Amino acid sequence: MKRFLFQIVIFTFLAILAGCSGYIPVTSGISQKTAAPSIIPKPMEQKVSNKIYVLPKKNVICFNPKASNVAPWLQKMLKVSNVRSEIIGGNNCGNWNLIADASLKKELGEEGYILEINTTGITIKSATQAGLFYGIQSLRQLFPAEIENDLAVGKFDLTQLYIKDIPKYSWRGSMVDVARSFFGLDYLKRHVDRMALYKLNRLHLHLTDDQGWRIEIKSKPALTGIGSKGAVINGNSGYLSQEEYKELQHYAAARNIIIIPEIDLPGHIYSALVAYPELNCEDFTNLNPQFVMPPELYTGYKVGWSKLCLTKPEVYEFVDDVIKEIAQITDGPWIHIGGDEIDDPLYKTFVVKADSIIRKYGKTTIGWEEVTKAPVSNSLISQRWNGKTKPVVDVKVIQSICTSFYFDHANITGQENTNNWCKKDGVSLEDVYWFSTNDKNIIGLEAPVWTELVIDEAMLDNRFWPRTIAVAEIAWSQSDKNFTEFRNRLKTHQQRLKNMGINYFPSPELNWTKNGDLGKNQNVFKEFLP
Protein backbone atom coordinates (compact mmCIF):
# COMPACT_ATOMS: atom_id res chain seq x y z
CA MET A 1 0.00 0.00 0.00
CA LYS A 2 2.79 2.36 0.96
CA ARG A 3 4.49 1.65 -2.35
CA PHE A 4 1.29 2.27 -4.20
CA LEU A 5 0.84 5.67 -2.50
CA PHE A 6 4.45 6.53 -3.30
CA GLN A 7 3.84 5.72 -6.96
CA ILE A 8 0.78 7.97 -7.04
CA VAL A 9 2.75 10.85 -5.53
CA ILE A 10 5.56 10.42 -8.03
CA PHE A 11 3.14 10.11 -10.91
CA THR A 12 1.23 13.26 -9.89
CA PHE A 13 4.48 15.15 -9.49
CA LEU A 14 5.67 14.14 -12.96
CA ALA A 15 2.28 14.94 -14.48
CA ILE A 16 2.43 18.45 -13.03
CA LEU A 17 5.99 18.86 -14.26
CA ALA A 18 4.99 17.75 -17.73
CA GLY A 19 2.00 20.04 -17.72
CA CYS A 20 4.14 23.05 -16.84
CA SER A 21 6.81 22.73 -19.49
CA GLY A 22 4.68 20.89 -22.03
CA TYR A 23 7.65 18.64 -22.65
CA ILE A 24 9.10 15.65 -20.90
CA PRO A 25 12.78 14.90 -21.41
CA VAL A 26 12.87 11.76 -23.51
CA THR A 27 15.21 9.97 -21.17
CA SER A 28 12.52 9.82 -18.49
CA GLY A 29 10.65 7.06 -20.36
CA ILE A 30 7.46 7.92 -18.49
CA SER A 31 5.00 6.21 -20.76
CA GLN A 32 4.68 4.76 -24.21
CA LYS A 33 3.23 7.98 -25.50
CA THR A 34 6.19 10.06 -24.42
CA ALA A 35 8.87 7.66 -25.61
CA ALA A 36 11.26 9.27 -28.09
CA PRO A 37 10.40 8.55 -31.70
CA SER A 38 12.72 6.11 -33.48
CA ILE A 39 14.41 8.66 -35.70
CA ILE A 40 17.67 7.54 -37.33
CA PRO A 41 20.19 9.13 -37.11
CA LYS A 42 19.35 9.97 -33.53
CA PRO A 43 18.82 13.73 -33.15
CA MET A 44 21.18 15.68 -30.96
CA GLU A 45 18.49 17.01 -28.67
CA GLN A 46 14.85 15.98 -28.40
CA LYS A 47 12.02 16.71 -26.03
CA VAL A 48 8.77 14.87 -26.43
CA SER A 49 5.45 16.06 -25.07
CA ASN A 50 2.56 13.94 -23.86
CA LYS A 51 0.27 15.88 -26.16
CA ILE A 52 -0.82 15.16 -29.69
CA TYR A 53 -1.20 17.54 -32.61
CA VAL A 54 -4.26 16.47 -34.58
CA LEU A 55 -3.94 17.36 -38.25
CA PRO A 56 -6.76 19.63 -39.41
CA LYS A 57 -8.77 18.92 -42.58
CA LYS A 58 -7.26 21.90 -44.29
CA ASN A 59 -3.46 22.29 -44.14
CA VAL A 60 -1.40 25.25 -45.21
CA ILE A 61 2.34 24.95 -45.91
CA CYS A 62 3.90 28.34 -45.47
CA PHE A 63 7.46 29.01 -46.63
CA ASN A 64 9.65 32.07 -46.61
CA PRO A 65 11.45 32.99 -49.87
CA LYS A 66 14.67 31.08 -49.14
CA ALA A 67 12.69 27.92 -48.33
CA SER A 68 10.77 27.80 -51.61
CA ASN A 69 12.51 24.68 -53.00
CA VAL A 70 11.73 22.70 -49.89
CA ALA A 71 7.97 23.25 -49.66
CA PRO A 72 7.14 20.82 -52.53
CA TRP A 73 8.83 17.93 -50.66
CA LEU A 74 6.57 18.49 -47.71
CA GLN A 75 3.51 18.80 -49.89
CA LYS A 76 4.37 15.55 -51.66
CA MET A 77 4.66 13.78 -48.31
CA LEU A 78 1.28 15.10 -47.19
CA LYS A 79 -0.31 14.20 -50.50
CA VAL A 80 0.66 10.53 -50.30
CA SER A 81 -0.58 10.58 -46.71
CA ASN A 82 -3.97 11.74 -47.98
CA VAL A 83 -3.63 15.03 -46.15
CA ARG A 84 -4.83 17.94 -48.26
CA SER A 85 -2.59 21.01 -48.29
CA GLU A 86 -1.88 24.18 -50.16
CA ILE A 87 1.46 26.01 -50.37
CA ILE A 88 1.78 29.73 -49.83
CA GLY A 89 4.71 32.11 -49.42
CA GLY A 90 5.03 34.11 -46.22
CA ASN A 91 6.24 34.02 -42.66
CA ASN A 92 4.53 31.72 -40.18
CA CYS A 93 1.36 31.86 -42.24
CA GLY A 94 0.38 28.19 -42.08
CA ASN A 95 0.05 25.29 -39.72
CA TRP A 96 3.18 23.95 -41.46
CA ASN A 97 6.00 26.49 -41.55
CA LEU A 98 9.34 26.24 -43.33
CA ILE A 99 11.79 28.94 -42.38
CA ALA A 100 15.24 29.33 -43.93
CA ASP A 101 17.16 32.02 -42.09
CA ALA A 102 20.89 32.53 -42.67
CA SER A 103 21.30 34.07 -39.22
CA LEU A 104 20.73 30.59 -37.75
CA LYS A 105 24.09 29.44 -39.14
CA LYS A 106 25.82 30.32 -35.89
CA GLU A 107 23.50 28.09 -33.92
CA LEU A 108 22.82 25.30 -36.41
CA GLY A 109 25.73 25.27 -38.88
CA GLU A 110 25.27 24.37 -42.55
CA GLU A 111 23.05 21.34 -42.14
CA GLY A 112 21.37 21.55 -38.75
CA TYR A 113 17.67 22.19 -38.18
CA ILE A 114 15.03 22.68 -35.53
CA LEU A 115 11.76 20.77 -35.83
CA GLU A 116 8.94 21.73 -33.53
CA ILE A 117 5.45 20.27 -33.34
CA ASN A 118 3.19 22.11 -30.91
CA THR A 119 -0.48 22.96 -30.45
CA THR A 120 -0.50 25.30 -33.44
CA GLY A 121 1.30 23.07 -35.91
CA ILE A 122 4.67 22.12 -37.30
CA THR A 123 7.68 24.37 -37.85
CA ILE A 124 11.07 23.55 -39.35
CA LYS A 125 13.83 26.12 -39.16
CA SER A 126 17.33 26.07 -40.56
CA ALA A 127 20.02 28.33 -41.95
CA THR A 128 19.88 26.40 -45.24
CA GLN A 129 17.56 24.45 -47.53
CA ALA A 130 19.67 21.38 -46.76
CA GLY A 131 18.79 21.67 -43.08
CA LEU A 132 15.09 22.03 -43.90
CA PHE A 133 15.33 18.96 -46.12
CA TYR A 134 16.80 17.03 -43.20
CA GLY A 135 14.05 18.29 -40.92
CA ILE A 136 11.57 16.83 -43.42
CA GLN A 137 13.42 13.49 -43.37
CA SER A 138 13.01 13.38 -39.59
CA LEU A 139 9.34 14.26 -39.95
CA ARG A 140 9.00 11.57 -42.61
CA GLN A 141 10.11 9.00 -40.04
CA LEU A 142 7.29 10.17 -37.76
CA PHE A 143 4.78 9.45 -40.54
CA PRO A 144 3.50 5.89 -41.03
CA ALA A 145 5.74 3.58 -43.10
CA GLU A 146 2.88 3.22 -45.62
CA ILE A 147 3.71 6.61 -47.10
CA GLU A 148 6.68 4.94 -48.79
CA ASN A 149 4.58 2.69 -51.02
CA ASP A 150 1.70 5.01 -51.73
CA LEU A 151 -0.88 3.23 -49.62
CA ALA A 152 -3.49 5.71 -48.43
CA VAL A 153 -2.78 6.56 -44.82
CA GLY A 154 -5.73 8.77 -44.01
CA LYS A 155 -5.89 10.09 -40.51
CA PHE A 156 -2.92 10.08 -38.18
CA ASP A 157 -1.71 12.21 -35.32
CA LEU A 158 1.66 13.69 -34.50
CA THR A 159 3.23 13.76 -31.06
CA GLN A 160 4.16 17.26 -30.01
CA LEU A 161 7.91 17.55 -29.75
CA TYR A 162 10.99 19.69 -30.09
CA ILE A 163 14.09 18.54 -31.95
CA LYS A 164 17.36 20.36 -32.42
CA ASP A 165 19.74 18.48 -34.61
CA ILE A 166 23.23 19.10 -35.97
CA PRO A 167 25.42 16.51 -37.72
CA LYS A 168 28.71 15.32 -36.29
CA TYR A 169 30.52 15.04 -39.65
CA SER A 170 30.13 16.87 -42.95
CA TRP A 171 31.09 13.72 -44.94
CA ARG A 172 28.50 10.95 -44.68
CA GLY A 173 29.18 8.71 -47.61
CA SER A 174 28.36 5.57 -49.52
CA MET A 175 30.43 4.08 -52.35
CA VAL A 176 29.31 1.83 -55.18
CA ASP A 177 31.83 -0.05 -57.30
CA VAL A 178 30.07 0.08 -60.68
CA ALA A 179 33.25 -1.03 -62.46
CA ARG A 180 33.47 -4.72 -61.53
CA SER A 181 29.76 -5.18 -62.13
CA PHE A 182 27.75 -2.35 -63.60
CA PHE A 183 24.76 -0.77 -61.86
CA GLY A 184 23.01 1.89 -63.92
CA LEU A 185 21.02 5.07 -63.54
CA ASP A 186 17.88 3.44 -62.13
CA TYR A 187 19.62 1.64 -59.31
CA LEU A 188 21.80 4.63 -58.50
CA LYS A 189 18.79 6.96 -58.27
CA ARG A 190 17.08 4.51 -55.97
CA HIS A 191 20.23 4.33 -53.87
CA VAL A 192 20.26 8.12 -53.64
CA ASP A 193 16.61 8.07 -52.50
CA ARG A 194 17.45 5.62 -49.77
CA MET A 195 20.54 7.52 -48.66
CA ALA A 196 18.50 10.72 -48.34
CA LEU A 197 16.11 9.16 -45.83
CA TYR A 198 19.07 8.69 -43.49
CA LYS A 199 20.73 12.06 -44.18
CA LEU A 200 23.73 10.66 -46.05
CA ASN A 201 25.21 13.28 -48.35
CA ARG A 202 28.07 11.85 -50.47
CA LEU A 203 27.81 9.21 -53.19
CA HIS A 204 31.21 8.03 -54.43
CA LEU A 205 31.16 6.13 -57.72
CA HIS A 206 34.12 3.83 -58.40
CA LEU A 207 33.77 4.28 -62.17
CA THR A 208 36.78 2.46 -63.58
CA ASP A 209 38.76 -0.67 -62.86
CA ASP A 210 40.40 -3.64 -64.61
CA GLN A 211 37.08 -5.23 -65.51
CA GLY A 212 35.24 -2.23 -66.96
CA TRP A 213 35.20 1.49 -67.77
CA ARG A 214 31.83 3.04 -66.86
CA ILE A 215 31.79 6.68 -67.85
CA GLU A 216 31.62 8.19 -71.31
CA ILE A 217 34.70 10.26 -72.24
CA LYS A 218 33.94 11.95 -75.55
CA SER A 219 37.57 12.50 -76.57
CA LYS A 220 38.40 8.84 -75.85
CA PRO A 221 35.54 6.87 -77.39
CA ALA A 222 37.19 3.45 -77.10
CA LEU A 223 37.01 3.66 -73.30
CA THR A 224 33.30 2.96 -73.54
CA GLY A 225 33.36 1.49 -77.08
CA ILE A 226 35.67 -1.29 -75.86
CA GLY A 227 36.43 -0.82 -72.16
CA SER A 228 32.81 -0.78 -70.96
CA LYS A 229 31.99 -4.11 -72.60
CA GLY A 230 33.65 -6.11 -69.87
CA ALA A 231 32.65 -7.03 -66.33
CA VAL A 232 33.58 -9.50 -63.68
CA ILE A 233 32.46 -13.05 -64.48
CA ASN A 234 28.63 -13.18 -64.50
CA GLY A 235 28.43 -9.44 -63.76
CA ASN A 236 26.72 -6.81 -65.90
CA SER A 237 28.59 -4.53 -68.29
CA GLY A 238 27.61 -1.06 -69.46
CA TYR A 239 28.35 2.57 -68.74
CA LEU A 240 26.82 5.92 -67.85
CA SER A 241 26.60 8.38 -70.70
CA GLN A 242 27.53 11.93 -69.71
CA GLU A 243 23.83 12.82 -69.94
CA GLU A 244 22.92 10.04 -67.51
CA TYR A 245 25.73 11.06 -65.17
CA LYS A 246 24.42 14.63 -65.16
CA GLU A 247 20.86 13.42 -64.61
CA LEU A 248 21.96 11.39 -61.61
CA GLN A 249 23.93 14.34 -60.29
CA HIS A 250 20.93 16.64 -60.61
CA TYR A 251 18.64 14.10 -58.93
CA ALA A 252 21.15 13.67 -56.10
CA ALA A 253 21.73 17.42 -55.66
CA ALA A 254 18.00 17.92 -55.05
CA ARG A 255 18.48 15.50 -52.13
CA ASN A 256 21.62 17.26 -50.88
CA ILE A 257 23.86 14.48 -52.13
CA ILE A 258 27.06 15.25 -54.00
CA ILE A 259 28.46 12.74 -56.49
CA ILE A 260 32.20 12.00 -56.31
CA PRO A 261 33.56 10.38 -59.49
CA GLU A 262 36.57 8.08 -59.13
CA ILE A 263 38.92 7.32 -61.99
CA ASP A 264 41.30 4.77 -60.49
CA LEU A 265 44.89 5.65 -61.45
CA PRO A 266 47.60 4.58 -62.21
CA GLY A 267 46.69 0.97 -61.37
CA HIS A 268 43.33 -0.85 -61.63
CA ILE A 269 43.34 0.35 -65.23
CA TYR A 270 43.28 -2.70 -67.49
CA SER A 271 39.94 -1.83 -69.18
CA ALA A 272 41.56 1.39 -70.45
CA LEU A 273 44.68 -0.47 -71.57
CA VAL A 274 42.57 -2.79 -73.70
CA ALA A 275 40.95 0.25 -75.32
CA TYR A 276 44.24 2.16 -75.74
CA PRO A 277 47.08 -0.40 -75.69
CA GLU A 278 49.70 2.33 -76.22
CA LEU A 279 49.17 3.38 -72.57
CA ASN A 280 50.78 0.12 -71.47
CA CYS A 281 54.48 -0.71 -71.42
CA GLU A 282 55.93 -3.60 -73.41
CA ASP A 283 52.93 -4.67 -75.46
CA PHE A 284 51.18 -6.34 -72.54
CA THR A 285 53.86 -9.02 -72.13
CA ASN A 286 54.57 -7.65 -68.66
CA LEU A 287 51.04 -8.17 -67.40
CA ASN A 288 50.09 -11.02 -65.19
CA PRO A 289 47.52 -12.63 -65.36
CA GLN A 290 46.18 -11.13 -68.59
CA PHE A 291 48.80 -10.99 -71.35
CA VAL A 292 47.16 -12.38 -74.46
CA MET A 293 47.62 -10.52 -77.74
CA PRO A 294 45.50 -8.92 -79.01
CA PRO A 295 44.31 -7.86 -75.57
CA GLU A 296 41.04 -9.26 -74.24
CA LEU A 297 38.85 -7.92 -71.47
CA TYR A 298 39.46 -9.25 -67.98
CA THR A 299 36.76 -11.03 -65.95
CA GLY A 300 38.77 -12.24 -62.94
CA TYR A 301 39.13 -11.06 -59.33
CA LYS A 302 42.83 -10.28 -59.03
CA VAL A 303 43.85 -6.76 -57.94
CA GLY A 304 47.06 -4.73 -58.26
CA TRP A 305 48.42 -6.19 -61.49
CA SER A 306 47.77 -3.56 -64.19
CA LYS A 307 49.16 -0.06 -64.55
CA LEU A 308 49.68 2.84 -66.89
CA CYS A 309 53.21 3.05 -68.33
CA LEU A 310 54.47 5.95 -66.25
CA THR A 311 57.52 6.66 -68.40
CA LYS A 312 55.40 7.49 -71.45
CA PRO A 313 54.43 11.15 -71.97
CA GLU A 314 51.17 10.14 -73.67
CA VAL A 315 50.00 8.66 -70.38
CA TYR A 316 49.94 12.14 -68.84
CA GLU A 317 48.06 13.49 -71.87
CA PHE A 318 45.52 10.71 -71.43
CA VAL A 319 45.08 11.51 -67.75
CA ASP A 320 44.72 15.21 -68.52
CA ASP A 321 42.08 14.58 -71.20
CA VAL A 322 40.04 12.28 -68.99
CA ILE A 323 40.21 14.52 -65.91
CA LYS A 324 39.32 17.57 -68.00
CA GLU A 325 36.05 15.98 -69.15
CA ILE A 326 35.23 14.58 -65.73
CA ALA A 327 35.78 18.03 -64.22
CA GLN A 328 33.52 19.58 -66.86
CA ILE A 329 30.58 17.30 -66.10
CA THR A 330 31.02 17.22 -62.32
CA ASP A 331 29.22 19.83 -60.19
CA GLY A 332 30.78 18.82 -56.89
CA PRO A 333 34.21 20.08 -55.81
CA TRP A 334 35.94 16.68 -55.69
CA ILE A 335 37.49 14.14 -58.06
CA HIS A 336 38.86 10.85 -56.74
CA ILE A 337 42.03 9.50 -58.40
CA GLY A 338 42.08 6.09 -56.72
CA GLY A 339 45.79 5.42 -56.31
CA ASP A 340 45.41 2.15 -54.43
CA GLU A 341 47.33 -1.11 -54.56
CA ILE A 342 50.07 -0.38 -57.05
CA ASP A 343 53.82 -0.62 -56.95
CA ASP A 344 55.85 1.51 -59.35
CA PRO A 345 59.09 3.49 -59.01
CA LEU A 346 57.31 6.50 -60.50
CA TYR A 347 54.17 6.16 -58.34
CA LYS A 348 54.79 9.24 -56.20
CA THR A 349 55.72 11.41 -59.17
CA PHE A 350 52.54 10.31 -60.90
CA VAL A 351 50.33 11.07 -57.91
CA VAL A 352 51.77 14.57 -57.54
CA LYS A 353 51.11 15.21 -61.25
CA ALA A 354 47.59 13.80 -61.13
CA ASP A 355 46.81 15.96 -58.10
CA SER A 356 48.04 19.06 -59.92
CA ILE A 357 45.97 18.20 -63.02
CA ILE A 358 42.85 17.95 -60.85
CA ARG A 359 43.60 21.31 -59.26
CA LYS A 360 44.28 22.84 -62.67
CA TYR A 361 40.67 21.99 -63.56
CA GLY A 362 39.39 23.63 -60.40
CA LYS A 363 38.71 20.52 -58.31
CA THR A 364 40.03 19.05 -55.08
CA THR A 365 41.71 15.64 -55.17
CA ILE A 366 40.69 12.64 -53.13
CA GLY A 367 42.77 9.48 -53.17
CA TRP A 368 42.99 6.16 -51.34
CA GLU A 369 45.42 6.50 -48.44
CA GLU A 370 48.48 5.31 -50.43
CA VAL A 371 48.57 8.66 -52.26
CA THR A 372 49.71 10.33 -49.04
CA LYS A 373 53.11 8.64 -49.42
CA ALA A 374 53.64 11.35 -52.05
CA PRO A 375 54.14 15.05 -51.25
CA VAL A 376 50.68 16.02 -52.51
CA SER A 377 48.97 19.37 -51.93
CA ASN A 378 47.53 19.90 -48.48
CA SER A 379 44.04 20.36 -49.95
CA LEU A 380 43.98 16.66 -50.87
CA ILE A 381 41.69 14.35 -48.90
CA SER A 382 42.92 10.89 -47.96
CA GLN A 383 40.46 8.00 -47.83
CA ARG A 384 41.83 5.49 -45.36
CA TRP A 385 40.95 1.83 -45.85
CA ASN A 386 43.59 -0.17 -43.99
CA GLY A 387 45.17 2.61 -41.94
CA LYS A 388 48.71 1.42 -42.68
CA THR A 389 50.01 4.38 -44.70
CA LYS A 390 52.27 6.85 -42.91
CA PRO A 391 51.33 10.12 -44.57
CA VAL A 392 54.07 12.59 -45.45
CA VAL A 393 51.45 15.35 -45.61
CA ASP A 394 48.94 16.62 -43.05
CA VAL A 395 45.64 16.26 -44.88
CA LYS A 396 41.96 15.74 -44.13
CA VAL A 397 40.72 12.19 -43.84
CA ILE A 398 37.65 10.15 -44.73
CA GLN A 399 37.55 6.95 -42.71
CA SER A 400 36.60 3.79 -44.62
CA ILE A 401 38.59 1.35 -42.50
CA CYS A 402 37.84 -2.10 -43.90
CA THR A 403 37.17 -3.80 -40.55
CA SER A 404 34.20 -1.47 -40.06
CA PHE A 405 33.13 -0.27 -43.50
CA TYR A 406 33.91 -2.82 -46.23
CA PHE A 407 30.43 -4.04 -47.06
CA ASP A 408 31.64 -6.52 -49.68
CA HIS A 409 32.51 -8.45 -46.52
CA ALA A 410 29.95 -10.75 -44.92
CA ASN A 411 27.00 -9.47 -42.90
CA ILE A 412 27.39 -12.60 -40.84
CA THR A 413 30.19 -15.16 -40.64
CA GLY A 414 30.20 -17.48 -43.61
CA GLN A 415 27.78 -15.53 -45.82
CA GLU A 416 28.13 -16.67 -49.44
CA ASN A 417 29.76 -14.51 -52.11
CA THR A 418 31.62 -12.24 -49.75
CA ASN A 419 35.24 -11.25 -49.33
CA ASN A 420 36.99 -11.92 -46.05
CA TRP A 421 40.60 -10.77 -46.46
CA CYS A 422 40.16 -7.83 -44.10
CA LYS A 423 37.97 -9.47 -41.48
CA LYS A 424 37.41 -13.23 -41.45
CA ASP A 425 34.14 -13.24 -39.53
CA GLY A 426 32.59 -10.43 -41.57
CA VAL A 427 31.55 -6.87 -40.78
CA SER A 428 28.46 -7.00 -38.58
CA LEU A 429 26.04 -4.19 -37.86
CA GLU A 430 27.61 -3.94 -34.44
CA ASP A 431 31.14 -3.73 -35.93
CA VAL A 432 29.99 -0.74 -37.97
CA TYR A 433 28.28 0.87 -35.00
CA TRP A 434 31.27 0.69 -32.69
CA PHE A 435 33.76 2.25 -35.10
CA SER A 436 35.70 4.92 -33.25
CA THR A 437 38.71 7.04 -33.99
CA ASN A 438 40.72 9.83 -32.47
CA ASP A 439 41.94 11.02 -35.85
CA LYS A 440 42.06 14.80 -35.57
CA ASN A 441 41.90 15.21 -39.36
CA ILE A 442 38.67 13.28 -39.85
CA ILE A 443 35.90 14.90 -41.88
CA GLY A 444 33.65 11.87 -41.99
CA LEU A 445 32.88 8.28 -42.88
CA GLU A 446 32.15 6.30 -46.00
CA ALA A 447 31.25 2.67 -46.61
CA PRO A 448 32.07 1.03 -49.97
CA VAL A 449 30.57 -2.00 -51.63
CA TRP A 450 33.09 -3.59 -53.98
CA THR A 451 31.32 -5.71 -56.54
CA GLU A 452 33.60 -8.55 -57.64
CA LEU A 453 31.16 -10.90 -55.91
CA VAL A 454 28.06 -8.70 -56.00
CA ILE A 455 26.56 -9.10 -59.42
CA ASP A 456 22.89 -8.16 -59.17
CA GLU A 457 20.71 -5.56 -57.48
CA ALA A 458 19.30 -7.88 -54.84
CA MET A 459 22.84 -8.74 -53.72
CA LEU A 460 23.86 -5.10 -53.70
CA ASP A 461 20.84 -4.19 -51.52
CA ASN A 462 21.78 -7.03 -49.20
CA ARG A 463 25.31 -5.68 -48.70
CA PHE A 464 24.22 -2.07 -48.20
CA TRP A 465 21.21 -2.51 -45.90
CA PRO A 466 20.87 -2.28 -42.98
CA ARG A 467 24.61 -1.66 -42.41
CA THR A 468 24.48 1.67 -44.26
CA ILE A 469 21.97 2.87 -41.67
CA ALA A 470 24.58 2.29 -38.96
CA VAL A 471 27.03 4.40 -40.98
CA ALA A 472 24.42 7.17 -41.15
CA GLU A 473 23.83 6.92 -37.42
CA ILE A 474 27.47 7.25 -36.38
CA ALA A 475 28.35 9.83 -39.04
CA TRP A 476 25.51 12.15 -38.02
CA SER A 477 24.56 11.54 -34.44
CA GLN A 478 26.30 13.39 -31.64
CA SER A 479 24.62 11.43 -28.88
CA ASP A 480 26.32 8.92 -26.59
CA LYS A 481 26.56 5.45 -28.06
CA ASN A 482 24.38 2.59 -26.92
CA PHE A 483 24.08 -0.34 -29.32
CA THR A 484 21.00 -1.84 -27.67
CA GLU A 485 19.17 1.46 -27.89
CA PHE A 486 20.21 1.90 -31.54
CA ARG A 487 19.14 -1.64 -32.33
CA ASN A 488 15.71 -1.08 -30.81
CA ARG A 489 15.26 2.06 -32.85
CA LEU A 490 16.44 0.34 -36.04
CA LYS A 491 14.12 -2.62 -35.50
CA THR A 492 11.15 -0.33 -36.06
CA HIS A 493 12.48 0.60 -39.52
CA GLN A 494 11.96 -2.86 -40.99
CA GLN A 495 8.49 -2.11 -42.34
CA ARG A 496 9.65 1.10 -43.99
CA LEU A 497 12.52 -0.69 -45.74
CA LYS A 498 10.09 -3.42 -46.79
CA ASN A 499 7.70 -0.90 -48.24
CA MET A 500 10.59 0.66 -50.15
CA GLY A 501 11.32 -2.70 -51.77
CA ILE A 502 14.80 -2.99 -50.27
CA ASN A 503 16.25 -6.48 -50.28
CA TYR A 504 17.92 -5.87 -46.92
CA PHE A 505 19.91 -8.56 -45.15
CA PRO A 506 17.49 -10.14 -42.61
CA SER A 507 19.83 -9.47 -39.77
CA PRO A 508 19.71 -11.81 -36.75
CA GLU A 509 21.02 -8.83 -34.76
CA LEU A 510 17.58 -7.26 -35.37
CA ASN A 511 15.37 -10.35 -35.57
CA TRP A 512 14.37 -9.16 -39.02
CA THR A 513 12.64 -11.46 -41.47
CA LYS A 514 13.34 -11.59 -45.18
CA ASN A 515 11.57 -9.01 -47.30
CA GLY A 516 9.13 -11.04 -49.37
CA ASP A 517 7.87 -8.00 -51.23
CA LEU A 518 10.65 -7.17 -53.65
CA GLY A 519 10.85 -5.50 -56.99
CA LYS A 520 8.61 -2.55 -56.21
CA ASN A 521 11.36 -0.03 -55.55
CA GLN A 522 9.06 2.44 -53.95
CA ASN A 523 9.83 5.55 -52.00
CA VAL A 524 7.67 8.52 -51.17
CA PHE A 525 10.08 10.68 -53.17
CA LYS A 526 10.76 8.28 -56.03
CA GLU A 527 11.48 10.27 -59.22
CA PHE A 528 10.42 13.44 -57.40
CA LEU A 529 12.05 16.74 -58.30
CA PRO A 530 10.72 20.01 -56.93
Interaction site with ligand TNX (CB under 6 A): 303, 340-341, 368, 385, 406, 408, 419, 450, 452
Helices vs. strands in the chain: H and E counts, helices first: 16, 18
For the bound state, the minimum distance from the C-beta of residue 497 to ligand TNX, rounded and expressed in Å, comes to 25
**Catalytic residue chosen out of the listed positions 278, 341, 369, 527:** 341
Strand residue runs (E) in 273-363: 334-338
Q: Which residues pair with 93 in a beta bridge?
A: none
Nearest distance from C-beta of residue 406 to ligand TNX, angstroms: 6
Cis peptide leading into residue 167 (ω within 30°): no
Q: Provide the β-strand partners of residue 307.
A: 267
User: From the centroid of its chain, how far is CA 355?
Assistant: 25
Closer residue to ligand TNX in complex, CB, 165/369: 369
Q: In the complex with ligand TNX, which residue's Cβ is closer, 220 or 409?
A: 409
Min dist CB 341 to ligand TNX, Å, is 6
Min dist. Cβ of residue 122 to ligand TNX (A): 44
CB of 281 to ligand TNX, least distance (A): 21
Nearer to ligand TNX, 450 or 476 (CB): 450
CB neighbour list of residue 19: distance below 8 Å, 6 or more residues apart: none
**DSSP strand E in 55-120: where?**
59-63, 85-89, 96-100, 113-118
Exposed / middle / buried, residue 484 (Cβ in 10 Å: 0-12, 13-18, 19+): exposed
Nearer to ligand TNX, 204 or 220 (CB): 204
Helix (H, G, I), strand (E, B) or coil at 194: helix
Q: Which is nearer to ligand TNX, 111 or 446 (CB)?
A: 446
CA distance 430 to 149: 29
Supply φ then ψ for residue 281, to 5 degrees. -85, 155
Active site residue 247: no
How many CA atoms lie less than 13 Å away from 103 in the CB half-sphere? Answer: 1
CA distance linking residue 78 with residue 58, whole number of Å:
11
Catalytic residues: 341
